[in-house]
Structure 1
C-alpha cells in the first residue's frame, strides 16, 4: 500500500512532466533580442540607408540630365467685320514635343568632391550605427544583471526580515521571563521595521530594473539564467587604449566627419571656378491652323547641340564666404577628433578602473561574509548565555546581511564593467560576441539598389558599389 506522502510526490512529478521544462532566458538570448528588435537601431539603420541614397544622388550629377517636354494648346477666334458684313472663324491647336539634355564636362571639382563628401558621410554613418549597436547591447547586459542582482538582494532582504523577526520573538520571550529589558525588545522592533523598509525599497528597485529590461530587450524579464563567464578582455589598460584608438566607432566616425568636411571645402572652392557642360535638344512641332474652314498645317523638326561655359565674376562675396565657412567646419571637425579621443581614452580608463575595483570588492566581500558569519554565530550563542545583548545580535546580523548584499552588487559590477570595457574599445559587437543573430549588413542595401538599376549608372558600376566597406 502506497503511503500518502509518496502519492503526493508522484502526483507532483506527473504535473511537472505535463507542464514541461521551463526555459530560462540566457544573456545571449536577451542581447540577440535587443539587437534584432530595438527601434533605436531600426531608426539608425534607416538613417544610414538615407545616407546611401544621398551618395547615389551626388554621384548621379556626373551623368547629366535628360528632360522630356510636351506642349499642346487650342485657340479659337471668331471675328466679325461690321462694315463688310463678313465673318471669319480661326482655330489654332499647336503641338510641341522636345527632348533637352545636359552633361557636365567640368564643374571645378564640385561633383567629384560632393561624391567624396557623401561617401565619407556614409562611412561615418556606419560607425555611428556600430556605436548605437554597442549601446543597445550594453543596455541589455546592464538590465539583465540589474534584474538578477535585485532578485538576489530581495532574497537577502527577506532573509534579513525573517531572522530579525526571530530575534524579536526571542527577545519577547526572554523579556517575559525577565532575562532582558523592554529596551531590548524595542531595539528588535526598530530593526525589524527598518529591515521591512529596506525590503520594500529593494522590491521597488527590482520593479524599476524590470522596466529597464523591458525597454532594453523588448520583453519582460522572466526566468533569467546565470550568465556565462566574461568574454576575453584586453590584457592591460595600455592594450585597451590601443584598441580604442584604432577601432572605437565614435573615434572612427569623427575621422570620417573630418574627411567629409575637407571634401566640402573643395566643393566650396569649386563654385568659384568655371563650369562647362554639353547641351543638346531635339524637338518636333505641329502647328495646325483653320481659317474660314481652310486647313493649314506646318510640321517641323529641330536638333541642336552646343557647349555652355560660365564663370562667376561677382557674387557679392557669397562664394568666398562659403569657402571660409567650410574651412571653419573642417577646423571644428579636426578639433572634435581630439575631443572624442580624450573622451574615449577616459572611458577606457574608467572602465578598467571599475573592473579592478569590482574584483577587489568581490574578494573583500567574500572575506567579510566569512568573518561576519562567524561573528554572528558566536554573538548569537553568547546572547543565549547572557553574555551579549539583543543589540549585539542585531548588529552582527546586519553586518552579515550587508556583506552578502555587497558581494551580490560587486559580482554584478564586475560583469557590467567587463562589458563596459568591451564597449570602450569598440569590441561589443554581435560578431565579436558570437551571438546567434544575423548581423545587419549595410552593403546589402547598396548592392540591392544598384541591381535595380534605377539611377542609370553605366554597366559594371554596381560592382564598384558592392565593394565591402572597410573603415
Structure 2
C-alpha cells in the first residue's frame, strides 16, 4: 500500500495539471472545429467564387461539338429515261466543330461581372459580421457556464447556512428559548434552497451543452473570474464617436451597402435586355460525309466573323424584369437604412451597458460587504434577543443574492464591452485577450 501511495504521489508530481479552458483557447477551438464558425467560413469561400464566375462571361468561350453517325437507307433517283431506281445509302457521317466566342459588346455580361465582384466583397463583409457575432455569442455562452457554476456554489453555501440555522433554531426550541415558528421558517428556507440548488445544477448542464455546440467539444473545466475587477474607460469615450465608427465600419452595414450595389447591377442586367449584343466568333470544322450532298467528301474549313443579335420584342418580359429588379433595389436600400438604425440602437445600448455596468459593479461590491456585515449583526442581535430568526434568514438571503448579482454584473460588463467593439466592426483577437485577462486559473466542474 505504501508503494502504491508513493507511486501515485510521483505520478502526480510528474503529470501536468489539467489546465482550465479560458476564453482565448475557446476562441481558438471554435476557429478550428466550431461548426457555426466553419459554416460561415465556407459561406465566405463560396461567395468569393462569384468574382471569377462573373469575369468568365467577359472571357472567350470555347466549345467542341462532334458526332459520328451510321446512315443506312435508300435514295430513289430517276435515270435519263425517266425511270426511278433505288440506290442504297450506307455510309458513316462525321463532324467536329471547334468554336470560340468572344463578347465585344454585351451590357448584361459586363453588369454580371460587376455584380460578381460586389457579391464577393459582400461575402467578406458577411463573414466579418458573423465572425464578430460568433465571438460575442461564444463569450455569452462561456459566461453562462461561469454564472451557472457560481450559482451552484452560492446555492450550496446558502443551503449550508440555512441547515445550520435549522439546527440552531431546533436546539433553542428544545432548550425552551425558541419557538416552533422559528424552526418552521428555517426549515422552509432550507427546503427552498435545496430546490434552487437542483435548478442551478440543471442550468449548468444546459449551459455546458450550449457551449459545446459552439466550440465542438465539452470542456472538463473552465477558468472563472479573478477577484480583482478593474473597469477602465472605453476608447473612444463618447457615444457619438462610437456611433460614427459603427456607421463607417460595422460589417452588417457594409454588407448591406454591397447588397444595394448588387441590386443595382441586377437592374443593369435587366435593362441590358433592350440592348444588342456583338460577339466575335471563330471556328474550325472537320466533316466527312456530313450530309447527302457531301457523301464521300472530306471538308476542312475555318471561319471568323462577328455576330450581331438585336432584341426586337420579348412579349413585355424585359420591361417587367426591369420593374421587378428596380423594386428589389429599393428594398435593398430600405434594408440598409433599417440595418443602420438597428446598429446605432445596439451601439447606444452596449455603450450604456458598459458605462452603467461599471457603476453597477462598484455598487454591488459595496452591497456585498454591507450585506455581509448585516448577517453578522443579525446573528449577534438574535443571540441577545433584539432581532428575530426571520431577520437572520432574510439577511443571509440578501447576501447570497447580492453576491450572485455582483458576479452576473461583472459578466454583463465584459460582454457589453465585447458587443460595443463588435458594433463598431473592430472586434478582434486583442479584444478577446483583453477580456480573457479577467479570467483566472481556477478549475471548474
Same fold (TM over 0.5): yes
Deviation at 1:155, TM superposition (A): 0.9
2:222 matches 1:224: yes
Q: Which runs of 5+ in 1 are unaligned?
A: 1-6, 81-85, 290-295, 436-471
| CA 432–386 in structure 1, closer or farther in 2 if over 3 Å, else same | closer
CA contact (8 A) 2:276 2:308 kept: yes
CA contact (8 A) 2:30 2:37 kept: no
**Alignment match, 1:382:** 381
**Alignment match, 1:93:** 92
User: What is the alpha-carbon distance in structure 2 between the residues aligned to residue 284 and residue 51 of structure 1?
Assistant: 41
**Alignment match, 1:241:** 243
**Alignment match, 2:143:** 145
CA contact (8 A) 1:34 1:137 kept: no
CA contact (8 A) 1:133 1:429 kept: no
Deviation at 1:88, TM superposition (A): 7.4
1:395-421 Cα offsets, whole Å, 9 max, x none, are 121111111111111111111111111
**Alignment match, 1:35:** 31
User: What is the alpha-carbon distance in structure 2 between the residues aligned to residue 387 and residue 11 of structure 1?
Assistant: 58
CA contact (8 A) 1:74 1:94 kept: yes
CA contact (8 A) 1:37 1:218 kept: yes
Q: 1:244 aligns to what SS in structure 2?
A: helix
2:286 matches 1:284: yes
Deviation at 1:79, TM superposition (A): 9.9
User: What is the alpha-carbon distance in structure 2 between the residues aligned to residue 406 and residue 44 of structure 1?
Assistant: 35
Match of 2:183 among 161, 182, 185: 185
Alignment length, in residue pairs?
420
User: What is the alpha-carbon distance in structure 2 between the residues aligned to residue 158 and residue 28 of structure 1?
Assistant: 30
Deviation at 1:305, TM superposition (A): 2.4
Q: 2:362 aligns to what SS in structure 1?
A: helix
CA contact (8 A) 2:50 2:119 kept: no
1:343-383 Cα offsets, whole Å, 9 max, x none, are 00001011112223322221221111111111111110121
User: What is the alpha-carbon distance in structure 1 between the residues aligned to residue 39 and residue 396 of structure 2?
Assistant: 51
**Alignment match, 1:349:** 348
| CA 179–329 in structure 1, closer or farther in 2 if over 3 Å, else same | same
User: What is the alpha-carbon distance in structure 1 between the residues aligned to residue 211 and residue 349 of structure 2?
Assistant: 24
Which sits farther off after the overlay, 124-133 or 299-308?
299-308
Q: Which runs of 5+ in 2 are unaligned?
A: 77-84, 435-445
Match of 1:71 among 54, 58, 67: 67
2:51 matches 1:52: no
Deviation at 1:60, TM superposition (A): 1.2
**Alignment match, 1:210:** 208
CA contact (8 A) 1:26 1:225 kept: yes
Deviation at 1:256, TM superposition (A): 0.7
User: What is the alpha-carbon distance in structure 1 between the residues aligned to residue 91 and residue 290 of structure 2?
Assistant: 6
2:23 matches 1:21: no
2:331 matches 1:332: yes
1:293-337 Cα offsets, whole Å, 9 max, x none, are xxx832222222232212212222211111122221211111111
Deviation at 1:12, TM superposition (A): 7.7
User: What is the alpha-carbon distance in structure 2 between the residues aligned to residue 230 and residue 115 of structure 1?
Assistant: 50
| CA 134–227 in structure 1, closer or farther in 2 if over 3 Å, else same | farther
User: What is the alpha-carbon distance in structure 2 between the residues aligned to residue 11 and residue 66 of structure 1?
Assistant: 75
| CA 98–230 in structure 1, closer or farther in 2 if over 3 Å, else same | farther
1:44-69 Cα offsets, whole Å, 9 max, x none, are 22233323323212211122322212
Deviation at 1:87, TM superposition (A): 10
CA RMSD of aligned residues (A): 2.9
CA contact (8 A) 2:145 2:204 kept: yes
User: What is the alpha-carbon distance in structure 2 between the residues aligned to residue 404 and residue 227 of structure 1?
Assistant: 13
User: What is the alpha-carbon distance in structure 1 between the residues aligned to residue 25 and residue 240 of structure 2?
Assistant: 32
**Alignment match, 2:198:** 200
Deviation at 1:78, TM superposition (A): 7.9
| CA 11–234 in structure 1, closer or farther in 2 if over 3 Å, else same | farther
Q: 2:274 aligns to what SS in structure 1?
A: coil
Q: 1:224 aligns to what SS in structure 2?
A: coil
